[in-house]
Amino acid sequence: MSLAASQPDTIFTLSPKIQILPIVHGSGDMAQSVRDFIVSQEIDCLALPLPPSVESLVEDGVVTLPLISLVVCLERDEDGASSCSYVPIDPCQPVIMGIRVAMGEGIARAYVDREVASFDANSWVGPDPYVLRSVSLAGFSAATIPFLPSPEPESQRQTRISWMAFRLHELELDYQNIVCLCPFMDWPWVRQAYQDRMPYRVPEQPTERPAWWNVEPASLYFLLGELPYVTQLYEQRREEARSDAHLSIDGIKELVIEARAQWLASRSSTVVQESNWITPQLLQRYFHYVRNRTLLEHRLKPDLYTLVHAAQQMAGDAFALTLLETAKTYKYQHDPSRLTIKPIATMGIRELEDPGGEILPAKNRLQGDPQAWRSLALRPKPPIIQKQTWAHQWNPYRQCSWPPEDLRIESFASHVRQQSQQALGADLARTEKFSTSLEDGIDLRETLKQWAMKSQRSIFELQVKVAPSAKRTIEVLVFLFEVPADPKIYTWRTTWFAEHQEESTLCFYATPFSTHMIGPGIGQAQYGGTMFLFPPRPIPDIWENPLFDFATTLEERLLAGACAHSQEPHVAVVSPVPLKAAWRNIARRYGRKLVPLPLHKFSGQTVARLRQFHVLNGHEIRSYAARFIRE
């Protein structure tokens, strides 16, 4: 239901010449409703809840949209300390949208708020304006009136309400059709003050002239009512003359899809299954999870914390960080053709760093839902200079693994061994007629086949499967994550011996950890291929052993070492491609047989986590490694 359809003859009519339009600050949905209402009515004046001192700068800022800026009123608090209040030139602010549309339509603007020497902010957490798509503004307002905080007698809020009511009476003398955009928490008292003709106080004198500053792009999230990326989508739709009716929710979906595209672009595309494990099915579950969490927090639209935290829980730190960086993107703030030569301010929560570097307490004159810090343990990538420092401090004679990763990969290797033994047992499986036991289950295909072959269809013999367990065990397990493996990428080849009897002897080729330092004494690498020997025992390093020089690739050398050191006739091989003839020839050379398992049988997310591992520069590093390692 559109806002315009709910307006005629409603409680929002103050007089035959004035309609009051309650607005919720910082809402793209409300900004759309204000725009639709203004263009659908015959209006000759738009009254705005801002003081006249900011009029010229605010309208100059609106002209420069989509470049985000702010108009700052420098103030002094009761103790004489410097502070400020500001008006964000945000296209998703209903007041800014009203000014933008009124300027485009040639409608007069009247700034009716009272001038004050020091602005007192009043925050209120109200219902999500997204509900206006199914509820009329009158119904929305009537439901919230009992919960609106009334102004304290003689407070600044009360004097501002009385002054706005007086200014509306003045505007009636010059205009015939006035619309007043009023903060939602104030509109019943503005109505009452207008009808009762309450006494007012003359405005105060501002301490300093307002200033107009640009905003540091990295801090836009603290200024805008919607996410920067969603605000960017609103401006793109405006440029392209496309509908933005459902963008407040569809923009969240576009944000996640764009973050997924950037995440995929940052990863290796060699292994399709691994690099594309954030599937549409996973995204569907993600959106369901975000919706449920949002409703549990009594909201209709998710905030950035909910989006990023859910991404971390379902897809890991890397995707969550990409989503966070994408949500903060606002391309127009980086466009050289739109930049103006103005001082740049950096925003924070209830504070502002002015162009001179001074940090001031700041109050938003168009404050929506109040912002608050919420902690989330995401570990960003360290700066390049810091990585280089950690690399120079590395002791080449000390290295060990990270125990949680050892437990994880050993557990997975044990699971794969069980899968391999089942594959061995499948070769001995047979079908027999049911007599006294169902054995390993009914063989439905063989049962129907035997029944169809009988001349007398009434005879029905049940066939059951018998799958005897394999007597042989799997001692050596080989993982090949990339085929073919580039020897220029996987330059680190070594053998690690077990620290205790629950670990395997490990031979692998991987990326060099020294080029990817994530903490002091902590390097990160990625397996290209690994060989697990369990129970563990010491073996010569296969990468230095001249007996395996006949192998021409990394995969062949790893398989040759596996077959040579296996004491069992079978070697399990997990690979993204079918077994090659050269690999089978190597197995026959050592009298072994390869048991293939496809890599795509396992979750792409699991494979990605297993491939990534960390190297520590000594056992003492384990005491603080968890602070830097992203699980």
| Residues 57-84 as b or e (16 or more Cβ within 10 Å = b) | bbbebbebbbbbbbbbbbbeeeeeeebb
Measured CA to CA in angstroms, residue 348 lies from 223, 302, 355, 507 at distances of 8, 21, 14, 50
Find the helix or strand (DSSP H, E) in which 303 lies.
none
> Given a cut of 60, is residue 428 above it in pLDDT?
no
How far is it, in rounded angstroms, from Cα 93 to Cα 73? Answer: 18
* Closest listed residue to residue 214, CA positions, set 332, 92, 95, 368: 332
**Torsions phi, psi for 146 (to 5 deg):** -65, -15
* pLDDT value of residue 439: 65
How far is it, in rounded angstroms, from Cα 605 to Cα 460? Answer: 46
Could you give the percent of the chain with pLDDT greater than 70? 90
> Given a cut of 50, is residue 2 above it in pLDDT?
no
Enter the tokens of residue 166.
Answer: 């007086």
* pLDDT value of residue 587: 92
Beta strands 430-433; 69-76: pairing state: unpaired
CA atoms within 13 A on the CB side of 367: 20
* pLDDT value of residue 82: 84
> Given a cut of 50, is residue 233 above it in pLDDT?
yes
Angle between helices 187-196 and 156-171 (to 10 degrees): 60
Confidence of residue 108 (pLDDT cuts 50, 70, 90): very high
Residue 422 corresponds to which amino acid?
Q
Measured CA to CA in angstroms, residue 82 lies from 51, 351, 362, 364 at distances of 20, 12, 10, 16
Taking all residues of the chain, what is their mean pLDDT, rounded to a whole number? Answer: 85
Q: What is the DSSP letter of 605?
A: H
CB 308 within 8 A of CB 378: yes
Omega prior to 484 cis, within 30 of 0: yes
**Torsions phi, psi for 391 (to 5 deg):** -65, -40
> Domain coordinates of the chain in residue numbers?
4-222, 228-329, 400-423+472-627, 430-466
> Given a cut of 60, is residue 74 above it in pLDDT?
yes
| Residues 503-535 as b or e (16 or more Cβ within 10 Å = b) | bbbbbbbbbebbebbbbbbbbbbbbbbbbbbbe
Q: What is the pLDDT of residues 37-55, one digit of tens each?
A: 898 888 999 999 999 999 9
CB 251 within 8 A of CB 242: no
Classify 343 in phi/psi space as left (phi over 0), alpha (psi -120 to 50) or beta.
Answer: beta
CB 354 within 8 A of CB 74: no
3-class SS of residue 22: strand
Question: What residues does 45 pair with on adjacent strands?
Answer: 108, 178
| Residues 383-418 as b or e (16 or more Cβ within 10 Å = b) | eeeebeebeeebeeeebbbbeebbebbbebbeebbe
How far is it, in rounded angstroms, from Cα 480 to Cα 508? Answer: 10
> Given a cut of 90, is residue 531 above it in pLDDT?
yes
CB 562 within 8 A of CB 505: no
* pLDDT value of residue 542: 92
Q: What is the DSSP letter of 115?
A: P
**Torsions phi, psi for 447 (to 5 deg):** -60, -45
Enter the tokens of residue 331.
Answer: 């391309």
* pLDDT value of residue 370: 81
Could you give the percent of the chain with pLDDT greater than 90? 33
Confidence of residue 253 (pLDDT cuts 50, 70, 90): very high
Q: What is the pLDDT of residues 268-325, one digit of tens each?
A: 554 444 556 678 888 999 999 999 999 998 888 899 999 999 998 888 888 899 999 9
Mean pLDDT of 2-22: 70
The length of the chain, given as a count of residues:
631
* pLDDT value of residue 69: 92
> Given a cut of 80, is residue 457 above it in pLDDT?
no
Classify 146 in phi/psi space as left (phi over 0), alpha (psi -120 to 50) or beta.
Answer: alpha
How far is it, in rounded angstroms, from Cα 214 to Cα 116? Answer: 24
Residue with tokens 């060099």: 512
Helix, strand, coil percentages in the chain from 3-state DSSP, rounded to 5 = 40, 20, 40
Angle between helices 28-40 and 247-265 (to 10 degrees): 130
Mean pLDDT of 485-507: 90
Classify 503 in phi/psi space as left (phi over 0), alpha (psi -120 to 50) or beta.
Answer: beta
* pLDDT value of residue 286: 93
* pLDDT value of residue 142: 80
Lowest-confidence pick of 146-160, 395-409, 439-453, 556-570:
439-453
Enter the tokens of residue 362.
Answer: 């700041």
* Closest listed residue to residue 590, CA positions, set 556, 539, 540, 541: 556
Omega prior to 66 cis, within 30 of 0: yes
3-class SS of residue 259: helix
Confidence of residue 611 (pLDDT cuts 50, 70, 90): confident
How far is it, in rounded angstroms, from Cα 224 to Cα 89? Answer: 9
Enter the tokens of residue 99.
Answer: 């000014």
Higher pLDDT, 62 or 454: 62
**Torsions phi, psi for 50 (to 5 deg):** -135, 150
Q: What is the pLDDT of residues 117-164, one digit of tens each?
A: 888 888 777 778 888 778 887 888 888 888 888 888 888 889 999 999
CB 477 within 8 A of CB 575: no
Mean pLDDT of 370-390: 82
How far is it, in rounded angstroms, from Cα 65 to Cα 68? Answer: 6
Classify 500 in phi/psi space as left (phi over 0), alpha (psi -120 to 50) or beta.
Answer: beta
Beta strands 45-48; 108-111: pairing state: parallel
Angle between helices 304-315 and 280-296 (to 10 degrees): 140
* pLDDT value of residue 166: 92
* Closest listed residue to residue 119, CA positions, set 365, 310, 315: 365
| Long-range contacts formed by 437-443: CB under 8 A, 24+ apart | 437/464, 438/464, 439/464, 439/465, 439/466, 439/467, 440/464, 440/465, 440/466, 440/467, 441/465
Say which residues have a Cβ less than 8 Å from residue 65's Cβ, sequence separation at least 6. 89, 91, 96, 100, 235
Mean pLDDT of 346-362: 88
> Given a cut of 70, is residue 458 above it in pLDDT?
no
**Torsions phi, psi for 442 (to 5 deg):** -80, 135
* pLDDT value of residue 89: 93
Mean pLDDT of 602-613: 82
Confidence of residue 254 (pLDDT cuts 50, 70, 90): very high
